[in-house]
Structure formats: C-alpha cells, structure tokens
C-alpha cells in the first residue's frame, strides 16, 4: 500500500474536531483541485500488517484514513485488521469512488457539485458527514447535498477555503459565517489544526 505519511495529532475539522487520532495519509488522488493544500504524491510502500503495527504503537484508537483519495487503495482486509486491533475508523474521501464496507465514519468532502462519478467509475453511496469547502465563488453548498448520501442523519459542515491570502480568507470566512447563519442546518468547520499550529 502506498503511504504518503503517518502522524499523531488532533482531528482539526468537522464532527470530531479536537479528537486525538492516528492519521494514515495514502498517496495519490483521482482529482486535481487547484486549491489542494496537501502534498500527497510521494509514498513509502507498507503492508497492511505494518500499517496496523505502526498505528497500534500509539494510544488513540481513532484512526483517520485520508489522502489524496483513500478509496483508490483502501481495502476491506485493512478495515478488518484495524477493527481487530480495536480502532474506530474514519475515512475522509472526495466521494467519487466506492469505499469498502465496515468503515465506522465516512467524511465526504466533495470537490464538484453535484457528486460526480470519477473517470474510474463508481461513486460513494452513503456518508455520515458532509464537509463542503466554501470558496465564495457563488456556488450554493446545497448543490452538494444529494439523495445519494443515504437515508440516515448526515451532519453538514461548511468550511471556508484557505486561499493563502489573509484578506481573501477574511472575506470567505465572513461569507461562510453569513451563509451558516441563514441556513442553520449547516455548521461551521474551521481548520483548527492550522489555528493551533499543529499538523
């Protein structure tokens, strides 16, 4: 399995903000987003057993599998091995590819509205949390809310885009808060790890 990096930190975004977690970042993505702030191309080959062993060295039993796009590599056998080791598994995905069964929490951060099928085919059918990046470009976040997200309770989070420009970020944050206040089924998500200066 191509692993970009592993690290221990607090979940910085969405429903589990502040939760201690082991992060497994898998290499590669099926999309090319201009605003992507993750360098996920490099990798080290690790077996599933090595991944579980590395994760098990740490106290948190919450693992966040992210990327890139983890659905390109994630297997049911790794999910099963992590469960056997006592982990709660959260996956962060762009929603264009199906995921293996057995994942405890799926966070979908779509990058095109509505959720689209990727060139590889297939797509996500159910999520626990929808985290939409608010870009201030006139796109209505409601366009991302799809009947394909399943019949259960889906938590909706709106997260301001970090453009790298302080003044632009202030405007986007202002507009994100204004949208949430007018559409209270959405909650504000901030990249608190950046605010705290941690990974």
Burial class for 70, CB neighbours closer than 10 Å (0-12, 13-18, 19+): buried
Any idea which residues carry the catalytic annotation? 23, 29, 33, 36-38, 92, 193
Distance CA 56, CA 58 (A): 5
Q: Which helix (H) or strand (E) holds 11?
A: none
Residues sharing a CB contact under 8 Å with residue 185, sequence separation 6 or more, in sequence order = 156
Rg (CA), the chain: 16
**Which residue is it, tokens 């085919």?**
121
Indicate the SS3 state at residue 44. Answer: strand
């Amino acid at each position: 399995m191509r692993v970009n990096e592993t690290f221990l930190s607090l979940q910085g975004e969405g429903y589990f903000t502040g939760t201690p977690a082991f992060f497994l970042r898998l290499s590669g993505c099926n999309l090319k987003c201009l605003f992507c702030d993750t360098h996920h191309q490099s990798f080290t080959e690790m077996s599933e057993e090595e991944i579980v062993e590395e994760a098990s060295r740490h106290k948190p039993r919450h693992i966040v599998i992210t990327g890139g796009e983890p659905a390109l590599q994630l297997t049911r056998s790794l999910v099963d091995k992590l469960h056997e080791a006592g982990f709660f598994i959260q996956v962060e995905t762009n929603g264009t590819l199906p995921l293996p069964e057995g994942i405890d929490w799926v966070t979908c951060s779509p990058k095109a509205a509505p959720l689209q099928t990727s060139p590889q085919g297939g797509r996500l059918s159910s999520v626990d949390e929808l985290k939409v990046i608010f870009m201030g470009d006139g796109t209505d976040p409601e366009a991302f809310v799809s009947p394909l997200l399943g019949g259960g309770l889906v938590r909706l989070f709106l997260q301001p885009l970090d453009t790298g420009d302080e003044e632009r970020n202030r405007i986007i944050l202002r507009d994100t808060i204004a949208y949430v206040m007018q559409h209270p089924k959405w909650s504000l998500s901030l990249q608190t790890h950046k605010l705290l200066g941690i990974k």
